[in-house]
């Protein structure tokens, strides 16, 4: 954004390149309330809001998936299934109590997949939680349900993983109709080996099968989903950072023995002896004394006690160093991976990096490139443009529980970052986009989930910002993303911050459907206006999905229709891509042709093609020309 560039001129401020958020926006200062909060809406129509069924009220609503006319809404207490045949009055099909956070959901065919990460999820779906640190009742991983009868999902399988599943992504390989693959993401600490065999949180040198620095890929045979199992654990982070390594020689051991005999301080670091230098001894002793609350100069007693405490002191210190060393190798997991099989790419949002992966071989993704950004705290999720030439990553700064859209919060923090992808699959940064309205300190707000809206010739992204509401961003121009619609409510609680707002919002067959953490399910439609015409909306609605999972991005195409042609004409007019005379001629011609017989229609449409020769927006003119020719049948 231009104003971002301006703000960067004031680099001497405490927060470099910061730009305060807009407090003149109608979304700032809305009254608080659970079901009666103040609302602001622009270029959208709120079609309906339904509250969760009783057992799910007051428990976090999470992600969404779609199939046919059904919405599958995750909730930390299970899954809620809605029928949205009448979007103005969604009906509850099934509420399935089966607690686990975050209950991220995906569908494929007759299967429903649900993520479990939290410590209280049970294999038997019980609501009592799991109190023990090690328990064979605990589920952390993927649950699989058969939804042949959506009114009665059947729980058919679990796949347990070492770090549970914060999110997951379902991959339908275009060349494999017998299986689907699930990429499991999640950065929670590794569970104990006593609970799940083979789980190790050690460094790769110490345990090559460590659960760190890898993702899990589950293969699900569609004919027998109960056989779903992990098929590979690709190390897509390998060599992001190579730590220096050096082992001790026999002479080193000899020297250590000698030092021990002399009464010097010798410690063991990762199984190897190391003689402490005097300076280290003194520094460590001071630190140990400080931790123990001992004061003054070290006495002989302090020194003797320190010698006794040294192994434990060094173990704690080494553990901290191990964490540092781990971190140095790059991320140990991803938060989310968006798979785009039609272009053979995936976008991995992984710790401090955004990754571009080649997924041509579904079980063995390969990293193509990794980008980092000093303004990004935590890479959360990715979405590609439909043509695969751009990708946007979100930064869930603070994990979604913080109010990061206050007037003083910088516009580059907790934002989206937009990259172009060139022909050799290299990503290049273009711009940031953050919700352009300030929010109060009672509203958790940061970039979160969203999806494309298939308006032809443009890249539109509808996105959740938690209690910042939902925002529709036009990122056709990667360097200048702009907002063209929004909806927002005031805070859930007027006294202190309480988690709420839109977790996910996705476009599904003409509807914009939002999972509201505290309030339920909202359904919106686009409203025509200066930035989006009725024809553009109608053209987007010619795209129809049978099912939709945001983390498995589908490629869409528009059937050649009069609506599509009119949408392009509207865009040429808005962007001054064609003179007004040609625009009028095209509109009249399209109206005439639509009501004509086949032969007349062909002649009329072909007569319109020459009108396209004078314009400047070549790509759009070519697209329109193609539609005219297809409609003409020539």
Partner 1 sequence: MQTASLRLPAILILLWSPGLLLAQGSMEELEALYWARQKEAMSHFTQADVDFMTGMIGHHAQALIMSRLAPANGASTAIRTLAARIINAQNDEIELMQNWLRDREQAVPQVHIDGLNLMMHGGGDHGHHMPGMLTQEQLEELSAAQGMEFDRLFLTYMIQHHAGAVTMVEDLFAVDGAAQDEAAYKLASSIHVDQITEIARMQQMLDDFANQSQ
- Number of alpha helices (DSSP H) and beta strands (DSSP E) in the chain: 9, 32
- Chain-centroid distance of CA 37 in Å reads 27
Residue 588 is encoded by which pair of tokens? 């009249």
Write down the least CB distance from residue 213 to partner 1, Å.
12
Write down the least CB distance from residue 481 to partner 1, Å.
22
- Chain-centroid distance of CA 247 in Å reads 41
**CA–CA separation, 34 vs 193, rounded Å?**
43
Write down the least CB distance from residue 203 to partner 1, Å.
14
Write down the least CB distance from residue 401 to partner 1, Å.
6
Residue 33 or 388: the one with the smaller Cβ distance to partner 1 is 33
- State whether the Cα torsion 243-246-247-248 is positive or negative: negative
Task: Count other C-beta atoms under 10 Å from residue 201's C-beta.
Answer: 18
Residue 412 or 570: the one with the smaller Cβ distance to partner 1 is 412
**CA–CA separation, 67 vs 504, rounded Å?**
16
Residue 402 or 554: the one with the smaller Cβ distance to partner 1 is 402
Write down the least CB distance from residue 522 to partner 1, Å.
15
Instruction: Starting at the earlier edge strand, list the strands of the sheet with 345-350.
Output: 336-340, 345-350, 353-358, 366-371
Residue 212 or 628: the one with the smaller Cβ distance to partner 1 is 212
* Residue for token pair 């919405």: 71
In the 8-state DSSP scheme, what is residue 27? T
Write down the least CB distance from residue 560 to partner 1, Å.
43
Q: 140, 160 in Cβ contact below 8 A?
A: yes
Write down the least CB distance from residue 471 to partner 1, Å.
22
Please work out, in degrees rounded to the nearest 5, the angle formed at the alpha carbon of residue 336 by the alpha carbons of 330 and 342. Answer: 110
Q: Residue 498: which of 522, 470, 517, 514 has the closest Cα?
A: 517
Write down the least CB distance from residue 208 to partner 1, Å.
21
DSSP line for 486-548: EEEE--S-SSS----SEEEEEEETTEEEEEETTTEEEEEEE--BTTB-HHHHHHHTT---SEE
Residue 277 or 321: the one with the smaller Cβ distance to partner 1 is 321
Task: Count other C-beta atoms under 10 Å from residue 607's C-beta.
Answer: 15
Residue 258 or 328: the one with the smaller Cβ distance to partner 1 is 328
Write down the least CB distance from residue 398 to partner 1, Å.
6
DSSP line for 28-48: TTPPP-SSS--EEEESEEEEE
Residue 441 or 541: the one with the smaller Cβ distance to partner 1 is 441
**CA–CA separation, 392 vs 206, rounded Å?**
36
- Chain-centroid distance of CA 297 in Å reads 53
Residue 119 or 611: the one with the smaller Cβ distance to partner 1 is 119
Residue 243 or 633: the one with the smaller Cβ distance to partner 1 is 243
């Amino acid at each position: 954004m231009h104003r971002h560039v301006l703000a960067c001129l004031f680099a001497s401020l405490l927060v470099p390149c910061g730009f305060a958020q807009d407090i003149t926006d109608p979304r700032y200062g809305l009254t608080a309330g659970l079901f009666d909060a103040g609302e602001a809406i622009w270029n959208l129509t709120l079609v309906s809001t339904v509250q969760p069924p009783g057992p799910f009220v007051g428990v976090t609503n999470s992600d969404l998936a779609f199939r046919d006319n059904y919405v599958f809404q995750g909730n930390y207490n299970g899954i809620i299934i809605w029928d949205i045949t009448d979007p103005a009055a969604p009906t509850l099909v099934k509420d399935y109590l089966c607690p686990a956070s975050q209950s991220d959901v995906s569908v494929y065919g007759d299967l429903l997949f649900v993520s479990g990460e939290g410590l209280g999820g049970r294999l038997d779906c019980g609501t009592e939680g799991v109190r023990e640190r090690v328990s064979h009742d605990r589920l952390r991983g993927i649950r699989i349900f058969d939804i042949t009868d959506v009114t009665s999902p059947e729980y058919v399988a679990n796949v347990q993983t070492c770090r549970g599943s914060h999110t997951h992504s379902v991959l339908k390989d275009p060349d494999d109709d017998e299986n689907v693959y699930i990429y499991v993401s999640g950065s929670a600490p590794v569970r104990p080996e006593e609970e799940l065999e083979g789980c190790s949180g050690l460094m790769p040198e110490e345990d090559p099968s460590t659960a760190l620095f890898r993702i899990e890929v589950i293969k699900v045979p569609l004919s027998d989903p109960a056989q779903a199992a992990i098929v590979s654990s690709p190390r897509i982070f390998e060599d992001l950072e190579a730590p220096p390594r050096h082992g001790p020689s026999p002479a080193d051991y000899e020297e250590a023995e000698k030092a021990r005999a002399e009464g010097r301080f010798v410690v063991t670091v990762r199984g190897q002896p190391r003689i402490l230098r005097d300076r280290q001894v003194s520094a460590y002793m001071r630190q140990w004394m400080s931790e123990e609350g001992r004061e003054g100069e070290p006495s002989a007693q302090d020194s003797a006690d320190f010698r006794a405490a040294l192994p434990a002191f060094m173990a704690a210190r080494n553990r901290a160093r191990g964490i540092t060393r781990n971190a140095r190798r790059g991320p140990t997991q991803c938060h989310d991976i968006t798979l785009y099989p039609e272009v053979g790419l995936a976008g991995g949002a992984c710790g401090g990096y955004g990754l571009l992966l080649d997924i041509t071989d579904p079980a063995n993704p390969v990293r193509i490139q990794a980008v980092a950004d000093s303004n990004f705290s935590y890479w959360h999720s990715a979405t590609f443009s439909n043509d695969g030439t751009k990708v946007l990553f979100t930064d869930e700064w603070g994990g979604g529980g913080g109010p990061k859209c206050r007037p003083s919060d910088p516009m580059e923090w907790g934002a989206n970052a937009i990259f172009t992808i060139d022909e050799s699959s290299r990503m290049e940064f273009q711009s940031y986009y953050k919700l352009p309205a300030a929010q109060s300190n009672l509203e958790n707000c940061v970039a979160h989930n969203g999806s494309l809206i298939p308006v032809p010739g443009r890249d539109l992204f509808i996105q959740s910002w938690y209690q910042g509401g939902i925002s529709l961003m036009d990122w056709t121009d990667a360097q200048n993303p702009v907002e063209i619609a929004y909806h927002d409510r005031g805070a859930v609680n007027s006294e202190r911050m309480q988690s709420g707002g839109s977790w996910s919002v996705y476009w599904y067959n003409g509807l914009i459907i939002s999972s509201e953490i505290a309030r339920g399910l909202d359904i919106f439609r686009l409203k025509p206006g200066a930035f989006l015409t009725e024809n553009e909306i109608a053209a987007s609605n010619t795209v129809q999905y049978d099912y939709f999972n945001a983390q498995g991005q589908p490629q869409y195409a528009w059937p050649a229709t009069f609506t599509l042609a009119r949408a392009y004409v509207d865009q040429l007019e808005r962007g001054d891509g064609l003179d007004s005379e040609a625009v009028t001629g095209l509109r009249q011609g399209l109206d005439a042709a639509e009501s004509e017989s086949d032969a007349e229609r062909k002649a009329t449409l072909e007569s319109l093609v020459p009108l396209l020769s004078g314009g400047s927006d070549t790509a759009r003119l070519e697209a329109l020309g193609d539609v005219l020719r297809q409609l003409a049948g020539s």
